[in-house]
Amino acid sequence: MLALDIGALLTKAAAGRDVREVRLTSRPTVQPSGGLVSELLAGFRPVLGAGPPQICLAVSDAWLNGDIAAAREQERCRRLIEDELNLRPVIWVSQSQAVAASLAVRQHGPGTMLLTCDAGGTGVRTGLCEITGTGIRLVASHAVPGGGWREFAAGLQDIWPSAGHHRATWHDSVRKQAGRATILLDQAVADAGFRDAAAYTVDGPAGPQELSAGQLIDQFGPTDRALRQAIEAVLASGQPSAAVLTGGLSWFPLAARVVTAATGLIPEILPLTAAAQGALLVGQGEAQLAPLDLPEVSLPMHQVSNGLLEEFRLPVPWSASFGPVAAEPVPIDGPDLSVEVSGQLRTVSFADLRPGRYRVGVRPASPGQAFVYLQPDRQENSQEMPIGSVDLGHT
């Protein structure tokens, strides 16, 4: 089993045939990239064994939540892995659920509402997951662009120009000074009189350099605001009983402080590979995703029977991704398609749809939403797969 966490800047990978034998690595994200996947497969071959492995992908919650542009990204990724590399079927899991899975298996039981916070490379993402008797259910998620570790690091480089040349030294040094920095930053947030005190002392080409609490607090400002906004958005859907923090800025003491201030909970700090490790557990069957309550979906159609025009319903199959569907091709002439969801008619709109015959499929998105997608019956129709979203009328 190979699990990939596709981040904006880094793709983290975990591989293993069972939970006792797991290897981890990371590579810069080139998306989509068959070369990257092939490289990871080759590197993990001693662990994976011969033959094509099963793949579980932890992807941005936005890929799975009803956003059409994000759904197109997912379809391009699916086509690369399933169609071009012939590694199928892909198991899909949201990054929030994957992070929850990495912890829930060993620590949290049914009834837990787990807040996941990811201060990542280019932004901040939060998720609220419920641990149920049947698995992990994503209740809500929210992403805020900006405030990620890349922006934080760029600001530090303005303060300390040689930071980019001493990144490895910087990380090692600040982690060793975590205890002192946590105390001092807490004091400086509460009392401006401590802002000029040195929170970290790091080595540079001109000798040791001090970074003051005030400099760090100011530089962390965008992340602070983004994290509070993202947490507030998901708390509208429920109150967590536990919290975790991961991502490129999870090491910085003020990140955990924000989570505690917003929730009253002290977050557990998880490694950067948490989502990849959780996806591996899902793929291996050690962690489960809560099953979705999916309604019946059909297409209202007409047919001639005994010389009379009568209406009938053509069932539309649910799919885990945008892979091939089994429905018969149907003629579609306009930009809108009528579908029936649990006996209620819904209209799905498609942008720039060419008239023709299509096979229709439906794939779960966020709670209460689904994607309806069209696969051209004729291969020469080279348009990008038409995708629309539909309200299921329930959560």
The CA distance from 383 to 361, in Å, is 17
Does residue 248 sit in the same domain as residue 333? no
Does residue 23 sit in the same domain as residue 135? yes
Does residue 271 sit in the same domain as residue 313? no
Q: pLDDT tens, position by position, for the chain (395 residues)?
A: 899 998 878 889 999 877 677 889 888 887 667 788 888 888 888 888 777 788 999 988 888 777 888 888 888 888 888 888 888 888 999 999 999 999 877 777 788 999 999 998 899 999 999 998 889 999 999 999 999 988 988 887 777 765 555 555 667 777 788 888 999 999 999 999 999 999 988 776 667 778 899 999 999 999 999 999 999 999 999 999 999 999 989 999 999 999 999 999 999 999 999 999 999 999 999 999 998 888 999 999 877 677 677 788 888 889 888 876 766 788 888 889 999 998 899 999 998 788 888 989 999 887 678 999 998 876 545 567 889 989 887 54
Does residue 340 sit in the same domain as residue 245? no
Reported pTM: 0.87
Beta-carbon-side half-sphere exposure of residue 160 (alpha carbons within 13 Å): 26
Does residue 231 sit in the same domain as residue 369? no
Does residue 138 sit in the same domain as residue 242? yes
The CA distance from 236 to 139, in Å, is 10
Q: How many domains does the chain have?
A: 2
> What are the structure tokens assigned to 55, written together?
């793949």
Does residue 259 sit in the same domain as residue 329? no
Query: Is residue 213 a part of any domain in this protein?
Result: no
Does residue 266 sit in the same domain as residue 351? no
Does residue 89 sit in the same domain as residue 15? yes
Question: Which residue segment(s) compose the domain that 371 sits in?
Answer: 297-391
Does residue 333 sit in the same domain as residue 239? no
For the domain that residue 73 is a member of, what is the CATH number? 3.30.420.40
3 state DSSP class of 289? strand
Query: Is residue 28 a part of any domain in this protein?
Result: yes
